[in-house]
Chains A and B, each alone.
Chain A
């Protein structure tokens, strides 16, 4: 049997986390197929066909699949699942929205946010904000999984030459309608795939002060993130939040500025390769996970850092 990946894309390009899902699928038996459901999604299907490790692309091109409304997409996933042993998606907000709905239609207990594959039916997932790792075994006929993108390498975007096969639409349920979006615009790399992330917390004191971090980020080619406290205070938009209930990141370098290091924040960044903390409180828990800690007032240290980077 084979694995079906429910891809995330914007009709033109694949979202990076889909490449991590391809690597996860490669650790499961059988072929790797990718479902591209969208509206005018030919280019995304072509992109998926080029990914190394992909054996076949299923394209469902219909207006009903625009914006990946779960009400329309889940029935398609559930229908196609009959031919597969595993159905997987990255644990992004889109995957988290669609997959449990498809799993319930299949009468399957999904396994969420897995960080390792131990066997066809056995998976590891972090629980309690990453303070414990549960190894769970599924007895369902089809395994429905979401994968933690940072735990699997990205598959090469080039090198494959899979066939693209059109599949029929399951139609519009008429239950939900897209009314608009406010996407955060940024020239910086995407938070979850950036090699370097610099995040600010409540210690930043205002949204304007985040400009200091942005200047450092631009010198390093980094993405900017935040703690929940900074998002709740309105300093930065919701999509900046790193943590248990926000985004999970694992860059080569994570710089935490004015962040205390609550377990919920650590859950989203403690798998980073190198962690730097800048905090004026030498007792702050963030120093317990930091490779390099600087006890300093951030309003002096951050401008100095910008200067040092030249």
Chain B
């Protein structure tokens, strides 16, 4: 089975982002970028399926600026076989990404698409569900386990009350949660090898998809800051403050 893994280039999760002075967005100049952590988990899972002999080929795909190539190379260094870059002028919204991915799925015919549950920049948590809807495929969201069975996938989902187990028919879309696996670091030899792996470049127009945004960003502002309070010297003082000053217990 072919596995398709959509991956996104985002501001590194360790960077504290700053809102631009003109309130049009956040500072991205000279900021460290990285593969979205949930996408790393998705690539890792696909590569493990290949190593186990369950997957025959792993394809990574990213929609975004030309620099998303770097993110694709990281995926290739982790063990994916080839990459697809859908070059876009601006970051497409999740619905547009889902439409682009649908077109790629129709060309490539994967049996499983593994996405991150959310991208840590915009935190939308939408793309996988939207792709599944457009394809008419089942969706396994926020998974901590996936197993291929006869004609289906047995999945375990992380939900608000605990864990939920579903069986979903193949082909399917799944999205990763944190406990699915621990992604590997690409080794230097694999990083070198990845440079020779093929990356196909295309545009939304090549795929016949209209990516015009539906949302306009009116403004991006800083949230009200919380100021540090006081240090207390003892547990007794803490309890006293909570009872008599904050009055919360």
Q: Hey, which bits of chain A sit against chain B, CB under 8 A?
A: 67, 69-71, 74, 92-94, 96-105, 107-113, 122, 126-140, 173-184, 192, 196, 220, 228, 231-232, 237-239, 244-245, 247, 252-253, 263-264, 270, 273-276, 282, 287-296, 301, 304-305, 308-309
Contact = CB atoms under 8 A, between A and B. Distances in A.
A100 B131 CA distance: 9
B95 A104 contact: yes
Given A100-B130, A175-B137, A293-B232, A137 B215 contact: yes
A111 to B, nearest CB: 7
Interface centre among B154, B160, B232 (most CB of A within 10 A): B160
A174 B168 CA distance: 9
Chain A at the B interface: SS class? mixed
Contact of A107 (B95, B128, B163): B95
Contact of B218 (A92, A135, A237): A135
Contacts of B66: none
Contact of B239 (A96, A127, A308): A308
Contacts of A98: 129
Interface in B29-61: 38
Given A93-B158, A139-B215, A292-B242, A274 B168 contact: no
A143 to B, nearest CB: 10
A295 B231 CA distance: 8
A295 B232 CA distance: 8
Interface stretch (B104-112, B195-203, B222-230): B222-230
A289 B160 contact: no
Interface in B197-238: 213-223, 226, 228-232, 234-236, 238
Nearest to B135: A104
B82 to A, nearest CB: 27
Contacts of B125: 96, 100, 112-113
Given A132-B19, A132-B26, A176-B168, A244 B95 contact: no
A131 B16 contact: yes
B218 A132 contact: no
Question: A96, A138, A228, A296: which has the most chain B beta carbons within 10 Å?
Answer: A96
A287 B227 CA distance: 10
A174 B215 contact: no
Contacts of A263: 16
A217 to B, nearest CB: 12
Scoring B11, B137, B168, B226 by chain A CB atoms within 10 A of each residue's CB, the highest score goes to B226
Contact of A92 (B13, B117, B157, B160): B160
A104 B169 contact: no
A254 B247 CA distance: 13
A100 B249 contact: no
Contacts of A296: 235
Contacts of A245: 38, 117-118, 120, 177-178
**Which of B18, B93, B96, B228 has its CB near the most chain A CB atoms (within 10 A)?**
B228
Contact of A177 (B18, B129, B167): B167
A175 to B, nearest CB: 4
A94 B98 contact: no
Interface residues of B, number: 80
B68 interface: no
Contact of A274 (B18, B124, B246): B246
Contact of A103 (B18, B38, B95, B232): B95
A102 B93 CA distance: 16
A202 to B, nearest CB: 15
12 contacts: A93-B157, A93-B160, A98-B129, A111-B215, A129-B123, A137-B216, A245-B177, A253-B248, A274-B246, A292-B242, A294-B238, A304-B235
A133 B220 contact: yes
Contacts of A184: 161-162
Contacts of B231: 282, 287, 292-295
* Nearest 8 CB-CB pairings of A with B: A291-B229, A100-B129, A104-B130, A104-B133, A109-B214, A175-B138, A100-B126, A135-B218
A174 B217 contact: no
Contacts of B123: 112-113, 126-129, 244
Contacts of B71: none
Given A102-B133, A112-B123, 11 more contacts: A92-B160, A98-B129, A100-B128, A103-B133, A109-B213, A111-B215, A133-B222, A139-B215, A274-B246, A289-B228, A290-B229
Contact of A138 (B121, B122, B177, B214): B214
